[in-house]
Amino acid sequence: MKEGYFRRTGLPGVSGDRVFHSEIEVFTNQIQEIFGEQPGTSGGGIVCVLNGDIRGREAYRMLISPGGIEIQASEPAGIFHALQTVRQLILTGYNGGELAIPCGEIDDAPQFGWRGFMLDTSRHFYSVKTLRKFIDVLALHHISVFHWHLTDDQGWRFPVPGYPELINKGSRRVDCRSNWGRIFEGYYTEDDIKEVVAYAAARHIEVVPEVDIPGHASAILASYPELGCTGGPHHVRDTFGIFDDVLCAGNDAIYDFAAAVFDTLVRLFPSEYVHIGGDEVKTTYWEQCPKCRKRMEESGFERAAQLQGQVTVRFVRMLKERGKTAIGWDEVLENTDINSLPPELVVMSWRGKQGGQTAVAKGHRVIMSPLTDGCYFDYKNYDCYEEPGQHKITTVSQSYHLNPVADMTESQAALVMGGQGNLWSELIYADRLAEYMIFPRICALA
Ligand code: ACM
Ligand code: ZN
C-alpha cells in the first residue's frame, strides 16, 4: 500500500501493446457488462506494458499511482490476470460515477498452474449461457482450469460419431424430483463445446473434458447394453449413488467405443489433458462375467479389481497415441501391481490427500482435490438442516486452508500441479443453487 488514491470520474480506459489486444477487449467487455458503460478513452487510464524481465507466464506487476495504473507482464496471460485484478479493484472501488483505488504495488504470480474448478453437468445439465457466466466469474478469481464432467450414470452429454444412442437414449432420464414422469434431458452440440472452449480460452482458462469410465457407466450401457457384462437392460439412472453398471473389462468392443470417444474429445478440446474418471468402479459384474473371468485368467489376476488397472493402462496409452495426457481419480492407483501405470498418468486426489501423496511417491504428477480439505462444494457449507448440500461439510475456512503440498518433500511437491474445487450436482438442479454452492468457496480456494 502507498499514500493516496487513483481517482477519477467515470471508468479509466485501457491501452497497451497490440499483443494484448484480446485481453484488453475481454476486460473492456467485462466492465461494460457490469456497469453498462464503456471504460473511458481519455487520459489517466490503465496502461499495459510488455516487460520481458517478469518471470512466469501468468505473473504480473502492477503500479497504482494517483496518475493511473501501469501493469507489466512478459506474456498475454500475465496481462490478463493483471486486468482481472483491476476488475476486482474496480468492483470494490467504483460506485457507478466515481472511482477510487488505493495506491500501491502488486507483485503477483501463482504458486500453482492448475487452479481448477469442476462442474458435474451429468447429474444436472447446465446451459452454455450458464457455463459462460460461471467461467467469466472464475476468471475474476484467477481460476485457470475448467474441468468439465460430461458423463455419468445420470446422463451422457455430448455426441460421439458412430454412437448416436448416447444422445438419443443416454442424455435423457426421468426427473427424480417430479412424481409425474417428467423427462430431464440435455446435451452439448459440437458447436456448444467449441463456444465454451473459445470463451474460456479468451479468459486464459483451459477446458479439460472428463468421460467417467469404466464405472459410472449407466448412461452408456442404457444406450449400448452390449458394452456391459450382462447385456442389460440398463437405464439412465434417475437416482443417485454408486451403481454396479460398468463397462465389461473382458470385451474389446469397449476399446472401439473409447477410441471413438477419445477421437471426438481430441477434435473438440485443445487441452493437453483428458480426464478418464476411474472412480468408484464396482466389480460385482466383473466377478460373475465369463468374459471378465477369462480375461482375468489370461492376465494372471487373482482379483477382479485388477481388471481396472488393465483398462486404465489401455485408456492412458490410447490417449498418449492421440497426443494427450490422461488424468484419473485416485482409485486408478489401486490394484496396479501387475499392470504398472504409465508414469505420465496424472492422479487427481479426491478421497483425501493420501492418494496424491502415494502418487507423488510413485512419481506421478498430482492435482489435489480432497473432500477432506475444502474442495467439495457439493457439501453443505455448514452443519445446518436448512443448508443445501450432501454428505458432509466444507467450510469456507477449509477452502482457504487447502495446502496441496502439505507433508511433502520439495521433490514431491514439484509434482503437484495444483488444487481444484468440485461441484457434484446430484442435488444442484438450478443455476442459482450452483452459484450458492460455488461461491464464495471457490474464491477462498483460489
Ligand atoms: C468422486 O467424487 N467420485 C471423484
Ligand atoms: Zn464382463
Give tens-digit pLDDT for 275-331. 999 999 999 999 999 999 999 999 999 999 999 999 999 999 999 999 999 999 999
**How many angstroms separate the alpha carbon of residue 250 from the centre of ligand 2?**
5
Q: Of these residues, 152, 206, 210, 331, which one is catalytic?
A: 152
- Cβ 329 under 6 angstroms from ligand 1: yes
User: What is the per-residue pLDDT for 37?
Assistant: 82
In the block, residue with C-alpha cell 489376476: 301
Pick from 210, 246, 280, 425 the residue to mutate for probing ligand 1's pocket: most ligand atoms within 8 Å of its CB. Answer: 280
Residue nearest to atom 2 of ligand 1 (CA): 350
C-alpha cell at 390: 450432501
Residue nearest to atom 3 of ligand 1 (CA): 279
Taking CA atoms, 71 is separated from 75, 153, 205, 314, 358, in Å, by 12, 47, 20, 47, 41
Q: Is 124 a catalytic residue?
A: no
In the block, residue with C-alpha cell 506487476: 61
Taking CA atoms, 7 is separated from 1, 44, 243, in Å, by 15, 9, 59
Atom number, ligand 1, closest to the C-alpha of residue 348: 4
Q: How many CA atoms lie within 13 A of 359 on its CB side?
A: 35
Tens-place pLDDT, residues 317-357: 999 999 999 999 999 999 988 878 999 999 999 999 999 99
CA distance linking residue 124 with residue 120, whole number of Å:
7
Percent of the chain at pLDDT above 90? Answer: 94
Number of other residues whose CB lies within 10 A of the CB of residue 79: 28
Q: Is 245 a catalytic residue?
A: no
- Cβ 350 under 6 angstroms from ligand 1: yes
At position 43, the amino acid (one-letter code) is G
Handedness of CA 426, 429, 435, 436 (dihedral sign): negative
pTM of the predicted structure, to 2 decimals: 0.97
C-alpha cell at 266: 481430441
Mean pLDDT in residue range 44-53: 92
Tens-place pLDDT, residues 397-441: 999 999 999 999 999 999 999 999 999 999 999 999 999 999 999
